[in-house]
Structure 1
Amino acid sequence: MLTANMYLGMRSGMTISASIPAAVMSMGLFYVLRRVGIGGSLLENNIVQTMTSAGEALAAGVIFTIAGVTFLGEPIDMIDTATVAILGGLLGVLFMIPMRRYLIVDKHKTLPYPEGTACADVLEAGDSGESGVKLISFGFLLSALYMWLASGMAAFRTTIQTAFSVGETRGFAIGGDFTPALIGVGYIIGPKIAGYVFGGGLIAWLMLIPMLITGGFAPEAADAGLMAQANAVWDQYIRYVGAGAMIVGGFHAIISMRKTITDALGTAAAELRGSANTSPSSQKRTQRDLSMKFVGGGALLVMLALVVLPQVQVGLIGGVIAVIAAFLFVAVSAYLVGVVGSSSNPVSGMAVATILIAALAMKSTGVTDPVVVLVTASVVAIAAAVAGDTSQDLKTGYLLGATPRKQQIAQLVGITISAVFSGAVLYFFNQAYGIGSSTIPAPQAGMMALISEGVLTGTAQWGMILIGAVFACVLILMRIPVLPFAVGIYLPITLATPIFLGGLIRGGVDRYVTRVDDKDGTRAEETTYRGRIVAAGLITGEAIMGIVIGGLYITGVGESGGAPFPIGFSSALQQALGVVAVIILVILFTASILRAPSGTSQ
C-alpha cells in the first residue's frame, strides 16, 4: 500500500486514501477466519485496520515535501527520509490525542468523518453477516472494473473537461475526473459540504481564472490551448489564493477550537504536575487515551531530535517552528477531514502555509538554504497527513466502542514501521526513474521546492496569497464555512465536480425515499447505511485497482506510457464512452442503494 501510493502520488500528484481499503481487506480476512472457525472480534479487526492504514497518510507527506529536495539539487537519502518521516508521523499521532474528545466525541453529530464512518460500517457489515458483504463486494467490483477499463485498458476517459470564452472574456473552465472513489466520497459527506467544495471550485475556475487570463496573466508556455492556459493559471496563481484562504481558515478554525486547545494544554499541565485524576482506572474504557505526560514528553523529544539529529538539521528555529506549526495544523487537519474527508485533505496546502511561515522566520535570521525550509515543512505536512488518518481511525473506534489508547498505540507502531520503509521506497524510485522525470514528475514536490526557493529569494506570489486571505475573511463575516470553500479553490475543478455529483446523488436519494414511503425515518436510515456501504466499496475498488496498475508500471508489465494494455480507441471515442460510463456508474450506484439485497439492514 505504501509503495503503490508513493508511486501514484508522484506520478499524478494525488494519493489514495487507504483507511477504507484497509478496513475492507481487514474485514475480508476476519470474515474468512470466522467462516473457518478461527474467530476474531470486531475490535481486533479495528486494530488491524488502524495499523495498516498508517502508511498511506505517511506517504502523502513524504512525496509532497521531502521528494522536493531533488528539485533543489540534493539527493534522496534513505536514513534522512525515514528520520524525518518518523518524527513528523509521531507528532501527528501525539498532537491528535488531546483533540480526540472534542472532535470525535463532542462534535460527533457535527463532524461526519466520512472515511471513519464508512470504515465502521464496513467492519460491522463483515461482522454482522453476508448481506453487508454483498453490498461492499458489489461496490468494489463495479469500481475495480470501471478503473481497469479506464486506466488499465484506456477504453474510456474518466476526465471530461472543457474551456470556453464568453464574449471577450476567455478562460472559463469546467469538468470533472469522474472516478468511483470521488463520487463515493461525495455521497458520504453529503450535498451540503460537497456544495461548499464545489462552490470554491466555481469561484476559482469560472471567476478568478477567466479574469486573470483575460487580463493577460496566462503564462506564455500555455499558449497552445485555452484549457492548458486555465490549468497553468491555476497552478501558478490560483493555488496561492487557495493557500491564503486555507491559512486564514485554518487559524479561524484554531481560534474556534481555542477552548479545546486550552483545555488540552491545561490537562497536559495538570498531569505533568500530578494533580489530575486521569488514571486509566478512573475512566471508562472507551475514553482512555495515552496520557498527556506521554504526549508532552514525546513532543519534547521530537523537538530535541529535530534540533540535534544530523539527519534533519533544521536548527533550533526550524525545530520550534515545526513543532508549533505541527500542533496547529494537526488541529486544522483533524477538523478538516471531519468535514470533507481524508481524500480531500489539502496536506500540500498546509505545507505551503508552513513554508511561508518558516521561510520568513528563517530568512530574518540569515538562513538561505531552501532545503532547510523544505525539511521543516516536511515534518508539518507529514504530521498533518497522519493526524487526518488518525482522526478517521479514532472516529471508527468511537462508533465501534474501541479503546482509544489501544488504537493510538497501534497507530504509533504502524507509523514507525511505514516510515522506515518510506526512505527506501523513495530512494528506489529516485534511482530507478528520477524524481521529476516524465515517469514520476512529482508535481507537488516540485511546487514545494519552488515556493521554498521563491520565499527566500523574494519571488513568491504574495499578492495572490493576500487575495485568498481577504476572501476567507469575507466568508467568515458571512458565517460561511471557510475551509471547504478554500479546499475547493485549491483543488482542481476536476476533483470538486465528482465530489459534488456524489453529494447530489445522496441528496436525491434521501429526498426520494422521504417522499415515497418513509413515514418514521426507518427506510431513510437504512438507505443511508446501504449507500455508505456501497460508497465504501467504490472507494476501495478504485484504490486497489490503482495499486494493481501502479504495480504493473513498477514491474514493467504492459506498455510503459499511458495504460498498460490500451485497446487503441481514438480520443473522440474515449471521450464519448467516458460520458456513457459515468452515466452507467451513477445508475448502478443509485440502483444498488434503492434496491438492496433482501435482508440488508443496519
Structure 2
Amino acid sequence: MEHEPSENHPEASDSRTASEQSTADGPSPYVPAGKSVAELTIKAVGMGLALNVVMLTANMYLGMRSGMTISASIPAAVISMGLFYGLRRAGIGGSILENNIVQTMTSAGEALAAGVIFTIAGVTFLDESIDIVGTASVAILGGLLGVLFMIPMRRYLIVDKHEELPYPEGTACADVLEAGSRGDEGVKLISFGFLVSFIYMWLANGMAAFRTTLQTAFSAGETDGFAIGGDFTPALIGVGYIIGPRIAGYVFGGGLIAWMMLIPLLITGGFVPESTADAALMVQADKVWDEYIRYVGAGAMIVGGFYAILSMRGTIADALGTAATEIRGSESAAMSDRKRTQRDLPMKLVVVGAVLIALALVAVPQVQVGLLGGFIAVIAAFLFVAVSAYLVGVVGSSSNPVSGMAVATVLIAALAMRSAGVADPVVVLMTASVVAIAAAVAGDTSQDLKTGYLLGATPRKQQIAQVIGIAVSALFAGWILYFFHQAYGIGTDPIPAPQAGMMALISEGVLTGSAQWGMILIGAVFAFVLILMDVPVLPFAVGIYLPITLSTPIFLGGLLRAGIDRYVARRDDEDGTLAEHATSRGRIVAAGLITGEAIMGIVIGALYITGSGNAEGAPYPLGLAGETQTLLGVVALVALVGLFTASVLWNADSAETVDT
C-alpha cells in the first residue's frame, strides 16, 4: 500500500506504507473520509453471500480433515476483483470498497466454520447426533455476539492501537485491494507472490513432491525429547514478514519454552502416555504436547486474556458509558457529526442485541445451555472476543488459537457446572461453542475492520455486511455439518476432527475430575511472571499452545523482514526512501504468498470433496520416497526464501517501484 509523498499522503520518516502513515487525524486512508464511494451495494452483497457459502463448506471440510482452516479474506478479495473486472468489461464494474464488502461477508463464513467444527462437531464424540436447528441457533447467536462485542472495542484496537497491532491479514488484504485497484507494479508483485505460493503448495499438497513440514527430535545427555521443526509454507512465512521480527520472536520464544524445555522435562521425567511409550521421540513429543502442554498454553492464555481485559478497562468503561448515553438518547447528534470512517452501529444496538441473545441462549431449547450456561457464555464471549481481537492483531487470523480459548471456556464452564450439579458434557460443549464462535468471528471482524480502516471504508456498513454473512453461514452450517457426518463420519480417518474430539474429551474430563489442572496452573504462573517482567503475555502463550511447526516459519518470516530491512538500511539515503519502498514491496509479495496458499487450499479441498484423485496424502501423489521428499523440501524452502528476497530487493531503489 505504498504511496508517493503528496498532499493526500504526506511523507513519513519511517518505513511503514503510506496508508499507515500517521497524520494529525491518524492514518491517511486510500479513500478519504470526505469522499462518498459505492460500498454496501446489491451486487457486492450477492457476490459476498455466494462466496460465503463456498468458503464455509471448504473450511468445514478442511478444518475437520487437517485441524486448521484457511483465512478467507484475501482469497475472497482476489476472486471478487476478478469478478468485478469481468463486470467492468460489461459496463457495470465495482469500487474498491465494494470489493471490501465482498471479502468482509465471505470471511464471515470461514470464521464461523472454525468455531462450529472445533466445538459443536464434538457432540458426535459423545454419541450425540448433529442437530441441524441447534447448530444453526448456536452459530447465529455466537456469531452475532462476536460482531456486537467487537463494536465498542473497534476504536481502541483498530484506531488507537494502530501502531502496536499490525493485523497481518487485514493489512495484507488492504494491500491486495489497493494493488488491484491501481493496476500497476503492485499487481505484478502480488501476482508473483501468488504464483510462487500456488505452485509451491500444489507441488507439496497436490502431488506430494516434497514435504513442507521439516522436524526432528533428539536427546542431549540424560535428557530426551528436544524437538524443533517447522511447517514451512508460504503463508506462514508471509505472516511472519508482515508482523515483523519482534512479535514473531515472542511467538517463537513461547514455542521454544514448550518444545525445548517443558516437553523434554516431561518426557525425561516419565510423563509419556502409555500408547506412545515405545514410539519415536518426535511422536512422544507430539503426544506430550497434546496431553499436557496445550493445557499450559491454555492456562497462560487465561491469565494473559484477563490481563489484556484489565489493560483495556478504560476503553471498556468508556464504551459502556457511551452505550448508556446513547440509550438515553442524548448522543444521536454527536454520532451524526462523526466522520464517515468512524461511524459504527449504535451502542444501543450492541446492548439490546446482547441482552436478547442472552435470553435466547436460555430460552431456545435446541441450544441446551440453560441459565448458568447462558450466563457463562455471554460473559466469557465478551472477554474472549477482546482477547481474540487483540491476538489476531498480533499474530494474524491464521494463528489465532480459537481452540485454546474454547478449551479455557470448557474448563471454566465445566468447573462451574460441576459445582452446580450438571453432569452432561454436551451442555458444557454447547456453552463453549457459543464462545468459540464469537471469538472466531471477532478475530475475523477485527481483521476486516483493519482492512476497512486502511482503505477508508465505513465501519457501520462493514458491520452490517458481517451480520448478514453470519446469518447466512449459520443457516447452512448445520446442514453442511450433518452432510459430512453422514457422508464420512466425524471422527473417522477421512475427517478426524481433532479439536472437536479434544473438546469432548476435556468436557468429560473436567466433569469426572480427570482434567490437567496442574498444567493449567503452571501456565497461569508462567503468564504471571511474564506480566511482572513487563513482557507481552499473549504472543508467548500462543507460542506455547501452537505446535512448534507453526511458530518456526512465522519466526523465519520475521527474520527475513529484519535481514532485508538491515540490508536496505545500509544502502539507504537519509530520507529513508529505499527502506520505505522495500518494506512496501515485501508486504505486497507476502500478501501474494498468503493468497496463493489460501486459494490452493480451496482447490485441494474441492478435489477431496468431489472425490477426485487419491483420497490419502495428496490427490495426485508422485510416489516419491520419504527421504527424497524431505530433501526436496529443504531445496524448495531455500528456493522460496530466495525468490521472496529477490522479489523484494530487485530494483527496489527505483522510486517508481510501487506507484500510486
2:13 is matched with which residue?
A: none
2:74 is matched with which residue?
A: 20
1:69 is matched with which residue?
A: 123
1:356 is matched with which residue?
A: 411
Q: Provide the C-alpha distance between the structure 2 equivalents of 1:533 and 1:567, rounded to a whole number of angstroms.
A: 32
Matched, 1:97 2:151: yes
Q: How does 1:52-131 map to 2 (within 5 A)?
A: 52-131=106-185
2:250 to 188, 196, 199: 196
1:185 is matched with which residue?
A: 239
**Structure 1 residue 336 displacement after superposition:** 1.0
Whichever residue aligns with residue 208 of structure 1, its letter is L
Q: Provide the C-alpha distance between the structure 1 equivalents of 2:358 and 2:225, rounded to a whole number of angstroms.
A: 46
Q: Is the 8 A contact 2:193 2:592 kept in 1?
A: yes
Q: Is the 8 A contact 1:241 1:465 kept in 2?
A: yes
1:237 is matched with which residue?
A: 292
1:296 is matched with which residue?
A: 351
Matched residue of 2:208: which SS? Answer: coil
Q: Is the 8 A contact 1:249 1:472 kept in 2?
A: yes
Q: Provide the C-alpha distance between the structure 1 equivalents of 2:573 and 2:57, rounded to a whole number of angstroms.
A: 46
1:469 to 518, 521, 524: 524
2:61 is matched with which residue?
A: 7
2:593 is matched with which residue?
A: 538
Q: How does 1:231-270 map to 2 (within 5 A)?
A: 231-270=286-325
Q: Is the 8 A contact 2:184 2:658 kept in 1?
A: no
Q: Provide the C-alpha distance between the structure 1 equivalents of 2:392 and 2:333, rounded to a whole number of angstroms.
A: 28
1:114-138 residue CA offsets vs partner (Å, 9 max, x unmatched): 1111111111111112322211111
Whichever residue aligns with residue 288 of structure 1, its letter is R
**Structure 1 residue 110 displacement after superposition:** 1.3
Q: Cα gap change, 1:278/1:497 in structure 2, threshold over 3 Å: closer, same or farther?
A: farther
Q: Provide the C-alpha distance between the structure 2 equivalents of 1:482 and 1:344, rounded to a whole number of angstroms.
A: 15
Matched, 1:226 2:226: no
Q: Is the 8 A contact 1:62 1:378 kept in 2?
A: yes
**Structure 1 residue 37 displacement after superposition:** 4.5
1:553 is matched with which residue?
A: 608
Unaligned runs of 5+ in 2: 1-54
Matched, 1:600 2:600: no
Name the % identity: 81
Q: Provide the C-alpha distance between the structure 2 equivalents of 1:364 and 1:269, rounded to a whole number of angstroms.
A: 35
**Structure 1 residue 4 displacement after superposition:** 1.2
**Structure 1 residue 34 displacement after superposition:** 4.0
1:590 to 642, 645, 659: 645
1:414 is matched with which residue?
A: 469
Q: How does 1:415-430 map to 2 (within 5 A)?
A: 415-430=470-485
Matched residue of 2:228: which SS? Answer: strand
Matched residue of 1:407: which SS? Answer: helix
**Structure 1 residue 431 displacement after superposition:** 0.6
Matched, 1:272 2:322: no
Q: Is the 8 A contact 1:6 1:63 kept in 2?
A: yes
- Please, which moves more after superposition, 522-531 or 244-253? 522-531
Q: Provide the C-alpha distance between the structure 2 equivalents of 1:39 and 1:545, rounded to a whole number of angstroms.
A: 26
1:175-233 residue CA offsets vs partner (Å, 9 max, x unmatched): 00001111111111111000000000000000000000000001121122110000000
1:497-544 residue CA offsets vs partner (Å, 9 max, x unmatched): 000001111111111111113431122122211111111111111111
Matched, 1:574 2:629: yes
Q: Provide the C-alpha distance between the structure 1 equivalents of 2:326 and 2:438, rounded to a whole number of angstroms.
A: 24
1:495 to 550, 553, 575: 550
1:43 is matched with which residue?
A: 97
Matched residue of 1:538: which SS? Answer: helix
**Structure 1 residue 35 displacement after superposition:** 5.4
1:428-487 residue CA offsets vs partner (Å, 9 max, x unmatched): 111111111011111111111111111111000000000000000010000000000000
Matched residue of 1:101: which SS? Answer: helix
**Structure 1 residue 28 displacement after superposition:** 3.0
Matched, 1:328 2:362: no
2:510 is matched with which residue?
A: 455
1:217 to 254, 257, 271: 271
Q: Provide the C-alpha distance between the structure 1 equivalents of 2:651 and 2:469, rounded to a whole number of angstroms.
A: 36
Q: Is the 8 A contact 2:118 2:499 kept in 1?
A: yes
Q: Provide the C-alpha distance between the structure 2 equivalents of 1:521 and 1:415, rounded to a whole number of angstroms.
A: 44
1:344-377 residue CA offsets vs partner (Å, 9 max, x unmatched): 1110111011111111111111110000000000
Counting matched residue pairs gives 602
Q: Cα gap change, 1:518/1:569 in structure 2, threshold over 3 Å: closer, same or farther?
A: farther
Q: Provide the C-alpha distance between the structure 2 equivalents of 1:5 and 1:530, rounded to a whole number of angstroms.
A: 30
1:278-298 residue CA offsets vs partner (Å, 9 max, x unmatched): 554222111111001111111
Q: Is the 8 A contact 1:28 1:126 kept in 2?
A: no
Measured on the aligned residues, the alpha-carbon RMSD in Å equals: 1.3
Matched, 1:519 2:574: yes
Q: Provide the C-alpha distance between the structure 2 equivalents of 1:388 and 1:28, rounded to a whole number of angstroms.
A: 26
Q: Is the 8 A contact 1:163 1:174 kept in 2?
A: yes
Q: Is the 8 A contact 2:72 2:103 kept in 1?
A: no
Matched residue of 2:574: which SS? Answer: coil
Q: Is the 8 A contact 1:159 1:175 kept in 2?
A: yes
2:455 is matched with which residue?
A: 400
**Structure 1 residue 39 displacement after superposition:** 3.1
**Structure 1 residue 600 displacement after superposition:** 3.0
The TM-score normalised by the length of structure 2 is 0.90
Matched residue of 2:230: which SS? Answer: strand
**Structure 1 residue 72 displacement after superposition:** 0.7
1:389-441 residue CA offsets vs partner (Å, 9 max, x unmatched): 00011111111111110010000001111111111111111111111101111
**Structure 1 residue 241 displacement after superposition:** 0.2
Q: Is the 8 A contact 2:254 2:539 kept in 1?
A: yes
Q: Provide the C-alpha distance between the structure 1 equivalents of 2:253 and 2:458, rounded to a whole number of angstroms.
A: 38
Unaligned runs of 5+ in 1: none
Matched, 1:155 2:233: no
**Structure 1 residue 20 displacement after superposition:** 1.6
**Structure 1 residue 27 displacement after superposition:** 2.7
